[in-house]
Chains A and B, each alone.
Chain A
């Protein structure tokens, strides 16, 4: 069962609708991943610096 069998048939508007949905979902997923990663990286660096300072 391919993904194309799960999705409904949208006739002549299919390419317009699916490209809109794909573009939206990809953009939102990429933004979410980049935002979450930025938070993780900065929090980890802050933890390392804080740990170093408490040791010295």
Chain B
């Protein structure tokens, strides 16, 4: 891990990986969308609206995974002072926020025909909304604090404290009487999804995951360039 603490080495690795992750993202989206729209069947209860699952579930699942990634990166930064760890967390936050926002929006659009309501103060929906505010709060801390070292420490603490929300979101459908359906992908006794729906769902999950990796690498390269620019401009001021 410390091998990649060297920004030059990491930058080189990111540049080598990016064409592949970008190409795989495009392929996965093309295949996933084809299966989701043309191949997968309608649900016997939900009809064609079940196709919203193929954009809603990947966005929701990945928004949770990205927050866990941010919390892990923040822990690595706080414990080992790994310089790229906090940049990774900072770069991941906007992606996680967009995924969380999409999960809420597509969930709301799906809820209208199924539940008859755009929104319910249900445990799953409410805890996802809390996650969205955690993402916003994390990004706001970086924006408002002028001292980047202070921003790094404060935002890392927020990421670590907020991670307690992740198991609450995951198990909310089991702990409380919720409107949201229980888990059907990762659950005791195995998945409850038919293979004809599992294939497009897994393809779209892969597409969203590859998209995250691609955009994360772009954003990390941007963060590293920004850091180097800051140092270069600081030296210029010192010398002049």
A interface residues (Cβ-Cβ under 8 A, vs B): 7-8, 10-14, 16-17, 19-21, 23-24, 27-28, 31-32, 35-36, 38-39, 42-43, 45-46, 49-50, 53
Contact = CB atoms under 8 A, between A and B. Distances in A.
B221 interface: yes
B95 A23 contact: no
Nearest to B226: A42
A27 B52 CA distance: 16
Contact of A39 (B112, B113, B222): B222
A3 to B, nearest CB: 12
B13 interface: no
A42 B225 CA distance: 6
A45 B224 CA distance: 12
A35 B102 contact: no
B47 interface: yes
A43 B94 CA distance: 20
A45 B229 contact: yes
A28 B94 CA distance: 11
Given A17-B48, A53-B232, A38 B59 contact: no
A54 B95 CA distance: 36
B218 A20 contact: no
A9 to B, nearest CB: 9
Nearest to A32: B215
A20 B48 contact: no
B106 A11 contact: no
B109 A20 contact: yes
B136 to A, nearest CB: 15
A16 B102 contact: no
A17 B222 contact: no
Contact of B218 (A7, A10, A19, A36): A36
B215 A31 contact: yes
